[in-house]
Amino acid sequence: MALYLYLHFPALQCDSLTDSGQQSLPVAVVDAQHSIVQLNAQAAAQGVQLQMSLATAAALCHNLQLIPYQREQQQAVLLSVAQQLYQVSGEIAPDPPAGLYLRVCNMLQLYHGLDGYRNALMAELKRLPYRYAYATAATPFAAKCLARQQFNQLTADHSLTDAALKRSPLSFTELEADLQQQLQRLGIDTLGRLLALSAAELARRFDNRLVSYLGRLRGEFFHALNYIRPEPGFSRYLELLYDIHDMAVLSAPLSKLLQQLQQQLERNNALCHQLTLRLYCRDSDTQCISIGSAQGEYRAANWLKLCQLQLETNRLQAPVYGLQLEVTQFAPQQAQSEDLFQPQQGNVSALQLVSLLQARLGREAVSGLSLQNRHLPEQASGRPLPLLQSQPGAAALLQRPAFLLPQPVALRETIEISRGPERLCPDGWQLAAQRDYFIGRNKQGQWLWLYRTAQQQWFVHGLFS
């Protein structure tokens, strides 16, 4: 026997906004018709109700924070909830704007019955900040109808749900307002009365919308649901209740997002190497910051440290009203084995250290050094990414300086030559550009690497140290 669970989230957009810091503020979401569609507990305590007009609500509660209803944002939050619940339940179909269908019957074997399933699901829902109502029934529409009445029972006992279904008023069904009105005029005000009538007679009097709804409610017609598939990455948006000017203040909402990322990474047993943080600025372009970790991290605390270092160096041009955290690629977690006999002194690995330095000083400020198989000294030293294992390309030359000057400097002092010359010619044997290198010592005792051009001009190219 099929069993469906419907989860109804009455205040998804409102709950996604509220974080612990702003618990005391009453918040309400207003639609385009200026009526309240979602509100939080503080607003309800002050007497604000759903469907109330904006003017009444404002009169009741002077510090009510109003937020316009945004369909896309609501949908994004709903999908993120579905992704999160996917970890415990296999078949989930979103029902915009505020509901989720879960097909329970296939999951019962995994959880050894309904009790195990309930525990797993409720534990997962508890982590989310959203309020919800739920109900189970034999068909998706029946479950939805009960959940909207806050039936709040997870049961496989169909007699219980059927009785509740028969009592439910028509306003909780999926029927359009004109159909409801027609039925009301006939004196049919509950589903029980409607279901008692024969389908053939209803079909003669009403159009097929009613017949198709009742067929799907009874389970006689097939009800197609679009089940979601898990997405590979992570993307969350967080709208801030007030504009933030200071980078340091950003870390509080950011750590909330990173916690969610950590939960997802832990569940997937994965880590990620790169985050993209988008700061939505008021009256200005969106600022996009990418934060990398060479080793790969999943812990929120480590990511937060890297983000803070990166944010300290950036300046905010305009106040920020929203944050988006995106990860496109997850990498599998690898166990790192440590030396048993030489325990590490610190708890930071070399890759983590490099990421830390890069976050604060900039990506190009940290580099490695590699030996290239080139005869010209300025090409022989490469600056690759740090800690890159490179195969030994060439044997190292002796009599090379420790430091090369970025630009050769004309020689302006007396030099005592010790060794030379060593003739180097650029590629293609351009004899006019050949250089004769000498090792010399100046009056201060510094050892210089000098060259003489074909035009008999002298330059300092390096410093022995």
Closest by CA to 358, choosing from 310, 300, 287, is 310
Decide: is 445 part of the binding site for other proteins (CB under 8 A).
yes
Binding to other proteins, residues 78-117 (CB under 8 A) = none
Give the whole-angstrom CA distance, residue 49 versus residue 312.
43
Binding to other proteins, residues 352-371 (CB under 8 A) = 352-354, 356-357, 360-361, 365-371
Residue 261 beta carbon to other proteins: minimum distance, rounded to whole angstroms: 24
Decide: is 457 part of the binding site for other proteins (CB under 8 A).
no
CA distances from 461 to 400, 420, 432 (A): 11, 14, 18
Give the whole-angstrom CA distance, residue 405 versus residue 449.
10
Give the whole-angstrom CA distance, residue 326 versus residue 118.
31
Long-range pairs of 371-374 with CB within 8 A, sequence gap ≥ 24: 371/396
Decide: is 406 part of the binding site for other proteins (CB under 8 A).
yes
Residue 272 beta carbon to other proteins: minimum distance, rounded to whole angstroms: 22
Q: Which amino acid is at 334?
A: Q
Q: Closer to other proteins at the Cβ: 156 or 404? A: 404
Residue 435 beta carbon to other proteins: minimum distance, rounded to whole angstroms: 14
Q: What is the DSSP string of 51-91?
A: T-BHHHHHHH-TT-EEEE--HHHHHHHHHHHHHHHTTT-SE
Decide: is 307 part of the binding site for other proteins (CB under 8 A).
no
Residue 29's DSSP bridge partners are 38, 67
Dmax (CA) of the chain: 115
Decide: is 301 part of the binding site for other proteins (CB under 8 A).
no
Is residue 189 within 8 A of residue 166, CB to CB? The reply is no
**Tokens linked to 387:** 């800690």
Output Rg (C-alpha) for the chain, integer angstroms: 34
Give the whole-angstrom CA distance, residue 151 versus residue 144.
10
109, 334, 444, 455: which one contacts other proteins (CB under 8 A)? 444
Decide: is 448 part of the binding site for other proteins (CB under 8 A).
yes
Q: Closer to other proteins at the Cβ: 45 or 454? A: 454
Residue 418 beta carbon to other proteins: minimum distance, rounded to whole angstroms: 6
Query: What is the CB neighbour count within 10 angstroms for residue 321?
Result: 15
Decide: is 418 part of the binding site for other proteins (CB under 8 A).
yes
33, 50, 403, 427: which one contacts other proteins (CB under 8 A)? 403
Q: Closer to other proteins at the Cβ: 227 or 459? A: 459
Decide: is 454 part of the binding site for other proteins (CB under 8 A).
no
Q: What is the DSSP string of 108-132?
A: TTTTTSHHHHHHHHHHHHHHS----
Residue 245 beta carbon to other proteins: minimum distance, rounded to whole angstroms: 24
Among 143-151, 207-215, 227-235, 389-397, the segment contacting other proteins (CB under 8 A): 389-397
59, 122, 301, 388: which one contacts other proteins (CB under 8 A)? 388
Closest by CA to 290, choosing from 266, 255, 314, is 314
How many residues touch other proteins under the rule CB under 8 A: the total is: 68
Residue 83 beta carbon to other proteins: minimum distance, rounded to whole angstroms: 36
Decide: is 372 part of the binding site for other proteins (CB under 8 A).
yes
Residues that bind other proteins (CB under 8 A): 342, 344-350, 352-354, 356-357, 360-361, 365-372, 377, 380-383, 386-390, 396-406, 411, 413-419, 438-441, 444-448, 450, 452, 458, 462-465
